[in-house]
Structure formats: structure tokens, C-alpha cells
Amino acid sequence: MNRNFVLGQYVPGNSYLYRLDPRVKIISTILLMVSVFFLTTYYEILGALGVILLILLSGRISIIKAIRGLKPLLVLSLFVFFFQIFFNQTGTVIYTSELVFSISSIVSIIVLTFLFFFIRRFIKFKFILLLIYLASIYLSLAYLAYPNILYSYTLNIFDKGLETSLFVFFRLITVVFIATILTLTTKPTDLTLGIEYLLKPLKVFKINSEEIALIITIALRYIPTILEEAYRIMDAQASRGADFNSGSLFKKIKIIVSLLIPMFIISFERSDELADAMLSRNFVPGKEKTKYHILRWKAIDTMSLVLSFILLGGSICLFIIV
Amino acid sequence: MGISLKEVSFSYNPKRKGTVYALHNINLEITDKDEFIAIIGETGSGKSTLASIFNALKIPTSGEAYVSGIKIKKIRKRRENYNNIRKHVGLVFQMSDYQLFENTVIDDVMFAPLNFSKTKEEAREIAKHSLELVHIDESFYEKSPFLLSGGEKKLVSIAGILAMEPDILIFDEPTAGIDPSTKKKLLKLFKEFNEVHHKSIIIITHDMNIVNSYAKRVILMKKGRIALDSTPYELFKENSDIVKDSNIDLPDTYTLIDFIEEKTGIKIDKHLKNLDEIAEVLTYES
């Protein structure tokens, strides 16, 4: 199990993106995301990606860290990309190739799969390995036709298909980049503070935004603590011979139970204690509180809000004109 | 065979530059018979890390650690595990809540033997035996462990470790948060394990009275290094500079003996381990 879990992606830094008011950052993120969805062609999306990269560079955020934020979505975006290429059959054919299933190609696919899972353990660049794996599967399907052909499939790639797949792929990347800018430059606590302010109008519907923010803050605060506790419990069970890594599925489920029950019990105890501690310091739910961190609106906040509105307006204009 | 550490260092982030080592070049030999060792030191001095290396829960960053002849190194294969080490060295955690999870006390104690591929009947016999060792009687067997008091929970969790039949028993701050009567009971138990069953006992503690009256050997940890490895008498009597440096309180007997000597001039042997013995000497003197 991975023990180097890091919550959130916040990386300490010092640029204008860090100094922006969290409220502005949340609103701008939403505006930019919406404006990305108004774009209709792939070169507009590339333009938007360029703008986002400019924001990243001007905010002195390392691009490598931003790309790392894409990691969880890489497989999904690849899937979307290939799905569009294979199944969007409009426009003219730009590339065609015969995919052949024969005994030799099936054997080579099986061997490649074994190799892939074997090498995966020792290699750092798993994504590149995945690409090589997919490419070699394609090659073996295209060229290995020995001894006889069992089934053949003609792969046609259409220009519209390629266009839409590029479009969808880059749109996904752009949207994730926008979200990454927010999470890389904003502390989770600031984020909840911003959400608290933005949800204030919900008071009309008798929803208390302060309580929601408090719940989020407490949850965020306790994730590392509870994680630490989980590792302690795992150690305690491991020292009684519990094996979290191997064994049959049934055994594994039993072992997980030995982790979950103490965790639940400790968490409930802890939440009771926390509630008592808050009450003993005169916390009254729903009552107006003064704040230690006060958000201040600065000129740069107005500027960036105006800029994001301009970007949104621009993309709506493009949408209407084109 | 016991435990043998050679030049063992441990760091939580060995790859990071300027990382702090929780353990530094530790050399240590512990036999698996009749030892009663107290590991003391300030918070963050590496006591608990040392204990988890004894139990193969942490793997040394450098150096060699052998527990009952098995070298502790990184597991490469999925099927391997350290159960053969954990069979020899039982580690009782400070919080008994970390360990208890079954519906009944007896099931919880049976957890370890079942993991060491014993049959259900054998496991039950072993569990009964180890519950007897900690003086938990049969009326508790079918109770839920979560309804027990803190002290009883502690005893059950100790029974859970005893069920592995280890030669070396490690207790991480066994008396923290325990009421005085259970504390007495626990210490009596430790003595019994040590003297009757000839097990080696290692306790991590901040209580110098326990160190003085029970331990035969004391290991003082300081900033990840072993500052002193000797008998309690030597620690408290002769190395008073080290005692002052590490913010260790003197045990009650030492304070009392010094006080008596100052007030009355009666010299009392500091080897005496508890207050009753001092009282005896005093009545004899007067």
C-alpha cells in the first residue's frame, strides 16, 4: 500500500496567483472552464491551451507539476482519444489499414501483455510504456498474419474523427490545467474560506455556509491524522501476523475488516472528543463568529476577474460568430 | 538467538537531502532469555522506531538487523512476509484500540494463532492459555472487547500478543493512561513472564520508578543514538551528567535516599529497589 499519500496539490510559492483572493480564483476557474466549453474547433482549444500555459508561466508555476496533475486523467483522455478515432466515421478517409487476427498475432499480443505487466514493476515512466505497448499491439495486428487469417478488420481513420478526437483530448487537458492552477496555488484552508464566502447567499434557503465550511475544514484537517492512525493499526495487525499484501480474496477482505473496525471506533471516539472540546470553548452551531483570516479585495483581484470575464466573453463571441 | 543490530540507521525519507535520521548507527545485542530491558529517552529520541525495527515493521535504511537469525531486508516477493520474525518478537502497542476488532475477546486473541496456520481448536486452546496468563477469567471470553475498561483492554491486547508464543515481548509505554491498580497488575505480570516463563521483556517507558525497580538493563536513547546501555543503578548513580542532560527524573527511591542522608546522615545503599526495603533499613537503623 502506498504510504506516501499527499493530500491536495498545494505547492508553496510566491507569485500573483498565490496572492489572489481565493474567491476570485474560484470564480475565475469556473468562468474559464465555462468559456472552454463554448469553443467549438480544435485550433480554438489550442489557443485556449496557449492562454492557460501563459497564465501558468506568468504565475511561475512549474509546467512539470501541472502535468503531474494530469496523471490521474491520462488513461481516461487516451481512451476518449482512441474512441473518437475509431468510431467517429465522418468526413474523408485519411488513413486506412488492415488489422488481422491470426494465431501469431494473438500469441504476440499475449506475450506483449505479459511483458508489459512484468516490466511495469521496474520502470518509472509507466505512461510511455503503455504507449509503447499499445503501439506494438497495433504493429503485431497489422503485420503478423501467419499462418492464416482468422478475422480481419479494416481500420479507417477519418479526418473529422481525428479532428474531434484532438478537440476532445485538448479540451480535457485544458480544463484539468485550469483546475490544477487553482489547486496548486491555493491552500485547502483558503479554498474552504472562499467557498464559505461564496455560499453565503444560500442563507436565504436557511443553509449555513459557515457550517459547511467548518465541516470541510475539519474533514481536511483530519485526513492525515486518520491516515496515520490507519498505518498504526496496520502495523499492530501486521505484528500479529496479518498479511495485507498476499492471500486469497476472502482472506484479504477479512484482514481489511481488522483495519476498518478499529478505525471506525477510533474515529467516532475522536469526533465525540472534538465536539466536546469545541463546546467547552463556547462553540455554538449557527452563531455568528468573528474571523481570524479576513479576505481582502485588492486591485489585482478586480483585474483578474475582469480578465476572466473578457475571456468568457471572447469565447461566447467566437461561439456566436462561427 | 535474540536481536542483533549492527550499525543500524533509519530515516523516514532516506532519499530527501538533509534528512533527519531517527536512528543513527545503533549497535545492540539482546538475547531471547531472561532479559528485562527498559528503553528510555525523550519524545522523538527514536525509542518507538527502534521497537518497530525489532518487529520488522520498519526496515533499516543502512546497517544490518537480525531478529532470531533472520535478516530484516526489503521484501521483494509478494508471498514473503515477516511472520517468522513476529512469532519470536511480540510488540504490544500503546493504544489497545489499534489492535482489537473482533466481536468477542476470545476471537480477538485467536486472531494471531489463526494467522500462523493453526486450526481453530488449537487456536482456541492457545487463546485460553494466554488469557489465563494475563489473569482474565472465563466470564470475559464471550464479551465484546469494546465494552471492557481501558485496563482490561490492555490485558486482552497483551493476551493477543502472547498467543503468538513469542520469546521476546516488547511493550510500548504499557502504563500510559492506565489506572494505578492495573498498572501494578501489569508490572507483576511482566515480572512473572520474565522470571517464571523466562521471556525477555523490553519496555519503553517514561516512568523511572519502573525502570529502577524492574529493569535489569536500561538503554537510554538520545537523538537517535544510544547514549547509555547499562544497569539502572549505574545510570542513576554514576552518570548523573547524562541524567541531567536527558531531562530524566530520578526515581523516588534515589530522591528519598538523598533526602534521608541530608537530613539524618544515615547512608543507605542505592541498590535498594523499592520504598519498603528503605523503610526496613530505616527501622533497623533507628
DSSP string, B161-184: HHTT--SEEEEESTTTT--HHHHH
Query: Do the domain assignments include residue B140?
Result: yes
Together in a domain, B57 and B37: yes
Task: Region of A97 please: left (phi>0), alpha (psi -120 to 50) or beta.
Answer: beta
- Using the predicted structure, report yes or no on whether residue B39 has a pLDDT greater than 90: yes
The minimum CA-CA distance between A177 and chain B, rounded to whole Å, is 28
Whether B81 sits inside 8 A of A237 (CB atoms) is no
Of the residues B121, B146, B166, the one at which a domain ends: B166
pLDDT one-digit tens code per residue, A250-289: 878 888 888 888 899 889 988 999 999 988 988 887 777 7
Confidence of residue B79 (pLDDT cuts 50, 70, 90): low
In A, which residues are within 8 Å of B116 by CB distance?
A: 241
Confidence of residue B37 (pLDDT cuts 50, 70, 90): very high
ipTM: 0.80
* B23 and B53 Cβ atoms separated by less than 8 Å: yes
Together in a domain, B74 and B88: no
Query: Do the domain assignments include residue B115?
Result: yes
Query: Do the domain assignments include residue B34?
Result: yes
Residue A267: closest C-alpha in chain B: B97
Together in a domain, B8 and B57: yes
Together in a domain, B73 and B213: yes
Query: Model's pTM, two decimal places?
Result: 0.71
Whole-number average pLDDT of chain B: 85
Pick A239's closest partner by Cβ from B79, B91, B97.
Answer: B91
Residue A68 is predicted with a pLDDT of 75
Does the CB of A135 have a partner CB in chain B at under 8 Å? no
Q: Three cell numbers at B72?
A: 530484516
Query: Do the domain assignments include residue B192?
Result: no
Backbone angles phi, psi at A241, to 5 degrees: 90, 5
Rounded CA-CA distance B78/A271 in Å is 37
The minimum CA-CA distance between B81 and chain A, rounded to whole Å, is 7
Domains identified in chain B, total number: 3
In A, which residues are within 8 Å of B83 by CB distance?
A: 241, 243
Query: Do the domain assignments include residue B176?
Result: no
Pick B57's closest partner by Cβ from A239, A243, A258.
Answer: A239
| Best residue of A231, A233, A240 to probe chain B, by most B CBs closer than 10 Å | A240
Together in a domain, B102 and B160: yes
How far are the Cα atoms of A71, A305, B69, B198 from residue B164, in angstroms, in the given order? 44, 65, 18, 16
Overall average pLDDT of the B112-125 stretch? 88
Residue A228: closest C-alpha in chain B: B98
Together in a domain, B5 and B137: no
Overall average pLDDT of the B110-132 stretch? 89
Segments forming the whole domain that contains residue B273 = 251-286
Overall average pLDDT of the B247-262 stretch? 83
Pick B100's closest partner by Cβ from A235, A242, A262.
Answer: A262
In A, which residues are within 8 Å of B53 by CB distance?
A: none
Pick B164's closest partner by Cβ from A229, A232, A240.
Answer: A240
The minimum CA-CA distance between B253 and chain A, rounded to whole Å, is 35
Together in a domain, B7 and B35: yes
Pick B93's closest partner by Cβ from A236, A241, A261.
Answer: A236
Query: Do the domain assignments include residue B193?
Result: no
Residue B38 is predicted with a pLDDT of 93
Rounded CA-CA distance B204/B172 in Å is 5
Query: Do the domain assignments include residue B184?
Result: no
Overall average pLDDT of the B98-114 stretch? 88
Q: Using alpha carbons only, give the angle A114, A115, A121 rounded to the nearest 5 degrees.
A: 100
Place of cell 471492557: B148
Kindly report the number of other CB atoms within 10 A of residue A56's CB atom: 19
Pick A246's closest partner by Cβ from B78, B82, B112.
Answer: B78
Residue A306 is predicted with a pLDDT of 92
End-to-end CA distance of chain B: 49
Whether A243 sits inside 8 A of B55 (CB atoms) is no
Together in a domain, B210 and B228: yes
The minimum CA-CA distance between A71 and chain B, rounded to whole Å, is 23
Does the CB of A245 have a partner CB in chain B at under 8 Å? yes
Residue A259: closest C-alpha in chain B: B101
Confidence of residue B201 (pLDDT cuts 50, 70, 90): very high
Query: Do the domain assignments include residue B46?
Result: yes
- Using the predicted structure, report yes or no on whether residue B238 has a pLDDT greater than 70: no
Whether A241 sits inside 8 A of B146 (CB atoms) is no
Together in a domain, B24 and B91: no
Whether A238 sits inside 8 A of B116 (CB atoms) is no
Confidence of residue B170 (pLDDT cuts 50, 70, 90): very high
Whether A243 sits inside 8 A of B98 (CB atoms) is no
**Which residues in chain A land under pLDDT 70?**
1-9
Whether B93 sits inside 8 A of A241 (CB atoms) is no
Residue A4 is predicted with a pLDDT of 46
In B, which residues are within 8 Å of A229 by CB distance?
A: 98
Does the CB of A230 have a partner CB in chain B at under 8 Å? no
Whether B81 sits inside 8 A of A233 (CB atoms) is no
Whether B101 sits inside 8 A of A262 (CB atoms) is yes
Residue B77 is predicted with a pLDDT of 61
* B133 and B140 Cβ atoms separated by less than 8 Å: no
* B168 and B200 Cβ atoms separated by less than 8 Å: yes
Residue A1 is predicted with a pLDDT of 41
Rounded CA-CA distance A178/A194 in Å is 17
Percent residues over pLDDT 90 in chain B: 11
Together in a domain, B95 and B232: no
Together in a domain, B271 and B138: no
Together in a domain, B257 and B271: yes
Rounded CA-CA distance A28/A309 in Å is 8
CA atoms within 13 A on the CB side of A133: 18
Residue A2 is predicted with a pLDDT of 45
Overall average pLDDT of the B8-37 stretch? 85
CATH number at residue B217: 3.40.50.300
How far are the Cα atoms of A22, A195, A220, A264, B254 from residue A216, in angstroms, in the given order? 15, 10, 6, 19, 53
Of the residues B113, B142, B166, the one at which a domain ends: B166
Q: Three cell numbers at A252?
A: 484479504
- Using the predicted structure, report yes or no on whether residue B203 has a pLDDT greater than 90: yes
- Residue B6, H or E segment: strand B3-11
Whether B99 sits inside 8 A of A229 (CB atoms) is no
CB within 8 Å of A263: residues ≥ 6 apart: A226, A229, A230, A233
- Using the predicted structure, report yes or no on whether residue B175 has a pLDDT greater than 90: no
Pick A246's closest partner by Cβ from B55, B79, B146.
Answer: B79
Residue A274 is predicted with a pLDDT of 92
Does the CB of A258 have a partner CB in chain B at under 8 Å? yes
In A, which residues are within 8 Å of B81 by CB distance?
A: 243, 245-246
Does the CB of A267 have a partner CB in chain B at under 8 Å? no
In A, which residues are within 8 Å of B78 by CB distance?
A: 245-246
